[in-house]
Amino acid sequence: MEYAVDRRLCDFPGKVNANFNITNIKRVENALDKHYKAMLRQSFFWKFHQVRRMQFSGQIIDNLLLRLLKSENIDELWFRLGDNKVARFSFMEFLILTGLNAGNEDEVKPNIQRSKRLLNKYFNSKTTVTPVELESTFDACTVMKDKYKLGLVYILETMLRCKHHKTSIDLFCLDIVDDIEVFNAYPWGCRCFMDTLHAFKRMHTIKGSKTDRKYDIYGFPLAVQVWAFEAIPMLADKWDIRKDWTRIPRMLNWQATDIPTAKDVATILDDPQLEVYTILTPTPEEMENVYIQGFYIPARVPDPILDLYLVREEEHSPTAQKSPTEHQPSPSSPPPRLSHIPSPDIRQSCTTHSGSNVSEDLFERLNSQSTSMEHRITSQLMTEIRHLNKKVDEVIEWVRPLHYTDTMAPETTSDRVPIESDRMRDQEVNMEMETTEIPEF
């Protein structure tokens, strides 16, 4: 297991500059009138209003960075914790925590009509717009409808996709926000996730003779912090920051008002007895939510070492030893609704999993995922077929009057002479009756 960062960095204190502002959603709300305040509360952003008071800890992020492992997959973060245990932060964990839409952008973008109206009107058709310029334009805007749209982009770009104050925002957001429904339904989850990984994926090393480390983080780093609370229970126990167990997405279950020191965090993460959950998996309740059902699974590169931790037997689950009625969790321990997989010891992993067993387990998982995707695709195809049949019927109804004038048309339906489109439609009906119906999943 090889670390992804220069281990000499551990000898120097780190300072994390967080460019996101979780309170900006409240700022936007206060600037809107009653009508648009109500619209904001119906948007996908509003759930983040409830975590605006959570205190961000750069020390947790920095200590995780120092324990980052090299991985074959660019969209996964793996950390070495405690006495040779590992934990993963991937797109799935990000979605479970944030509840952001996780659909496939490549399937959605071709159907979106982009507009340069806001860019032309408020930014003089510029090719770059910084967060500072966006903020000042939002404050100065007097057209409430446009102010609301600029506010949506402002929240997205400064809270969920934060960047350096001199870096341009994603102008694509301005292009599609004119259609508010499309903007709210767009799968922003992937972009927010990849922005969040930026600080972990770039090179961190010693520069010159400096004895301190300073760096910026982007995206939505608060999600990584909350993930640490979920995956490393001792972190949460130390500051008693869980306030609920049942809210979805899971980020809403947490509060944090204290800022731990770097030494406190390091002591916990290096504890030989540290309990670590390697992955977080969605509960049945979470699986019913749209953001999980539409989860787009990116292609993974096989990682012969880290993939061992994705293959665990069900009996290793912390809730598998007792039934839900028998399990009485303490205030700081996960209740049965939480689905986690504990991390094994790295030194034991290669001896407790033979190559054949790993292959069989991986095959079963892939087969299960393939079946699930097949069911989902079949359901989508059936929906498209029904829509297509409806369109065909509408076209036939529209074409029918063109074949008859008022004088030529039969006086009664029963006397009407069938036309070619009628015969075609009858043939289609007969074919549908003879075809075995495909069950929907």
Q: What is the helix (H) or strand (E) element at residue 87, kind and residue range?
A: strand 85-89
Q: pLDDT above 90 covers what percent of the chain?
A: 41
The pair phi, psi for residue 79, each rounded to 5°, is -125, 140
Confidence of residue 392 (pLDDT cuts 50, 70, 90): confident
Smallest CA-to-CA distance from 230 within 336, 87, 73, 102 is with 87
pLDDT at 290: 63
Categorize the per-residue pLDDT at 361 as very low, low, confident or very high, splitting at 50, 70 and 90. low
Span 78-87, mean pLDDT?
Answer: 93
Give the C-alpha separation, 230 to 223, whole Å: 11
Q: Which of 40-54, 72-86, 194-208, 320-334 has the lowest mean pLDDT?
A: 320-334
Which pair of structure tokens corresponds to residue 410? 């039969």
Neighbouring-strand partners of residue 92: none
pLDDT band at 233 (very low <50, low <70, confident <90, very high): very high
Higher pLDDT: 90 or 402? It is 90
133-137, 165-169, 241-245, 280-284: which has the minimum mean pLDDT? 241-245
Residue 435 burial by CB count (10 A; 0-12/13-18/19+): exposed, middle or buried?
Answer: exposed
Cβ distance 95 to 295 under 8 Å? Answer: yes
Range among 125-129, 278-282, 379-383, 401-405 with highest mean pLDDT value: 125-129
Q: Which comes out higher in pLDDT, residue 349 or 181?
A: 181
Residue 177: predicted pLDDT = 97
Residue 200's pLDDT band, with cuts at 50, 70 and 90, is confident
pLDDT at 435 over 80: no
Q: Is the pLDDT of residue 433 over 50?
A: no
Domain ranges (residues) in the chain:
7-348, 354-441
Inter-residue contact 251 to 22 (CB < 8 Å): no
Question: Which is more confidently placed, 39 or 200?
Answer: 39
Strands 85-89 and 77-81, by their bridges, are: antiparallel
Residue 100 token pair: 């952001």
